[in-house]
Amino acid sequence: MEVDVKELFSLKDKVALVTGSTQGIGKAIAYGLGKAGAQVIVSSRKQENVDETVNEFKEEGIAVHGIAANVGKEEDIDKLIKETTSKFNALHIIVNNAAANPEFGPLVRSTTTAFDKIMDVNVKAPLEIVKKAYPYLKHGGGSIINVSSVGGLTPEPQLGVYSVSKAALVSLTKVMAKEMGRDNIRANVICPGLVKTKFSEALWKNKAIASAALQKLPLSKFAEPEEMIGIALFLASDAASYCTGGVYTADGGYTI
């Protein structure tokens, strides 16, 4: 047996789209995929954030292109996929990382407005992105990586609708894997635990919540965004060529 391990994890000549990639987990994953050789498309709602991230990545020697898009809007999804595929005529890797959670509190106090926004961004957008990118993923052999949450496996207190949306994303990933496998498209889902990002700061900056959460963690620490790079790189690369429909926790042992 002769295996080039470096080549196994290389993303040279691959085009990777990462949504919600100007901060937090998405930015870390985009950086990691770029460092592994992929041409990375970074995207988020605000053009200034996209430009800042593009410039930062270019200084690191990463081949990067930026597209501002709100994935909660179908017209923006159209723009995102059309601009990506017209520029590169290829799309091999999609990381659906963009997420929304505009409310924190008991389920009985949730609003239909917040529910619709959460579902549009966390569930509908990944589906629409994959549907529009499907011909390119099918042509080149693709890897879909959906970023869910441990809340999608075990409901999180005060995050009811968000947890429901992330559970739906886990199920959606499995459907993608089952339906698209014969098209040489793999679909897997990452379920991070509590990662120290701006998105989750209401949790890890709250001393009472943070203390209670840490007591449940065998690794006794919250994750940094960069700690999500390894699992994403694995799933994006040929190293995971026989992995599809998988649910991968990166949670410090929280779900044990």
Rounded Cα–Cα distance for residues 150 and 8 (Å):
28
| pLDDT 10s digits, 51-88 | 999 999 999 999 999 999 999 999 999 999 999 999 99
pLDDT number for residue 54: 98
| pLDDT 10s digits, 102-128 | 998 999 999 999 999 999 999 999 999
Phi, psi of 97 (to 5 degrees): -110, -25
Rounded Cα–Cα distance for residues 163 and 102 (Å):
13
136 as an active site residue: the answer is: no
Catalytic residue among 31, 134, 136, 162: 162
| pLDDT 10s digits, 217-239 | 999 898 899 999 999 999 999 99
Cβ neighbour number for residue 150 with a 10 Å cutoff = 20
| pLDDT 10s digits, 190-222 | 999 989 887 776 666 777 777 888 888 999 898
- The distance of Cα 228 from the centroid of its chain, to the nearest Å, equals 10
pLDDT at residue 164 greater than cutoff 70: yes
pLDDT number for residue 146: 99
**Assigned token pair, 235:** 């799933």
| pLDDT 10s digits, 136-155 | 999 878 999 999 999 999 99
pLDDT number for residue 207: 75
pLDDT number for residue 216: 84
pLDDT number for residue 1: 76
